[in-house]
Amino acid sequence: MSIINVMWAGGSPFASVHKVHRQILSQIDPAMPVRTWLLQGSESACLEGVGPAREWNLTSAKLKGRHFWRLFRPWMHSRFRQALLDSAAQVVLLDGLGVARTLLPVLKDMPHIHVVVIFHGATRLNAVGRDLLRGFAPSRLALAAVSQTLAASLQEALGLPVTALRSAFDPAGFQTCLLPREEARARMHLPLAGPRIFGAVGRLVDKKGFASLLDAFALAAVAQPDWRLVIVGEGPAREALQARIDQPDLVDKVLLAGHLEDVAKLYRAFDWVLVPSFEEGLGLILQEAILAGVPVLASDLAVFREQLADAGWYAPAGDETAWGEAITRASEASAEAVAAAQYQALAPDEAWAGFCRTARELISGRQ
């Protein structure tokens, strides 16, 4: 018997999703084999270790049955079914609604397999998707979301129970890997002392709010020539962001550091971490920064308030003036005191224990 972990794709855009699935799978019996399926992309592109992987090399058009590819779906389903039988799969873990739409029609007629669908962010649910999920007996299908905020939203939209599996990190394991401040700054080629350095981490896409953050930082740093902003990540918005950085009010103040595989070790290079997202399913960056002892200023989103409550420092998403003022206030506050309060609010040890317990219940079907 085995567990099949089905992911839409590998690569940096999906790194956080793979990280969450790896955390879930860390809670199963080590004697039970786990095999990952990548519907698109290659194992070598995965930034998180996925173990033995099968690469299906399917295009989005094939997976979604667009146009004449609809005729391809019965053959594709037949291949999936045979692969599931060959693997003696007992549990199948599915990455979100897109993967669920692809695999659930096959799994519906395989009653010996327990199915878990993990939702990582806001999802567009149409009638077909709702009916597909509602077509399974609750004893066979478990739905989970990576935050209470997301779980509540999905439960209302689906009319089905959705378990809140607020993703978390093993605090001791995460903190063991952190580099000291000086080493982290050296790794990023930053000054070891002197300038105040704000950090931001994430995929360079519009919903992460980095364009708005640049305008806000320009306002806050107008009289602070020694302030620096470092944005770690890669993505399609890079060219537009770099064009803004090259403007006179930001030149020499902002660094696009690109993708860094070991970014989780480097948070202590920053005085504050800024999370200007317009939307998040959870926001692992917030958790990682706080575990590193670095205070966070984040968009005023329900999912962040869920984790930090009154200990959080918030600014309205997309409001450059409010963000600029908040960055200035942050620079004047005691970073150590804010970080300590946020760590206490996040309660990492308790959160990790709860995550482990819920993950085991989901996989076993006892939720």
Q: For a pLDDT cut of 70, what percent of the chain falls above it?
A: 97
**CA-based radius of gyration for the chain:** 22
What does the pLDDT read at residue 51? 67
pLDDT(367) > 80: no
Kindly write down the DSSP assignment for every residue of 91-106, as one continuous string: EEEEEHHHHHHHHHHH
Is it the case that residue 102 has pLDDT exceeding 60?
Answer: yes
Residue 35, token pair as written in the block: 């095999």
Residue 79 binned pLDDT confidence (cut-offs 50, 70, 90): very high
Q: What is the pLDDT of residues 236-289, one digit of tens each?
A: 999 999 999 999 999 999 999 999 989 999 999 999 999 999 999 999 999 999
Residues of the chain with CATH 3.40.50.11930: 2-165
Q: State mean pLDDT over 205-216.
A: 97
**Banded pLDDT at 333 (limits 50, 70, 90):** very high
Does the pLDDT value for residue 46 go beyond 70?
no
Q: How large is the average pLDDT for residues 343-351?
A: 97
Q: How confident is the model at residue 171 (pLDDT cuts 50, 70, 90)?
A: very high
pLDDT of residue 198: 98
pLDDT of residue 47: 53
- Pick the closest to residue 24 from 91, 108, 90 (CA basis): 91
Give the Cα separation of 93 and 61 in Å (integer): 22
Domain with CATH 3.40.50.2000 in the chain: 171-347
pLDDT in tens, 1-34: 689 999 998 777 788 899 899 999 999 888 888 9
Q: What is the mean predicted confidence (pLDDT) over 170-177? A: 95
Q: What is the mean pLDDT of residues 68-85?
A: 92
Q: What is the pLDDT at residue 366?
A: 65
Correct CATH for 2-165 of 3.40.50.11930, 1.10.357.10, 3.40.109.10, 3.40.50.300: 3.40.50.11930
Beta 2-7 vs 197-201: how paired, if at all? unpaired
Specify the pLDDT at position 45: 62
What does the pLDDT read at residue 4? 96
Query: From CA 299, how far away is CA 279, in angstroms rounded?
Result: 9
Given this model, what pLDDT does residue 91 score?
A: 95
Averaged confidence pLDDT in the chain: 92
- 110 strand-pairing partners: none
Instruction: Name the DSSP letter for residue 269.
Output: G
* Fold designation for 171-347: Rossmann fold (3.40.50)
* Mean pLDDT in residue range 286-297: 98
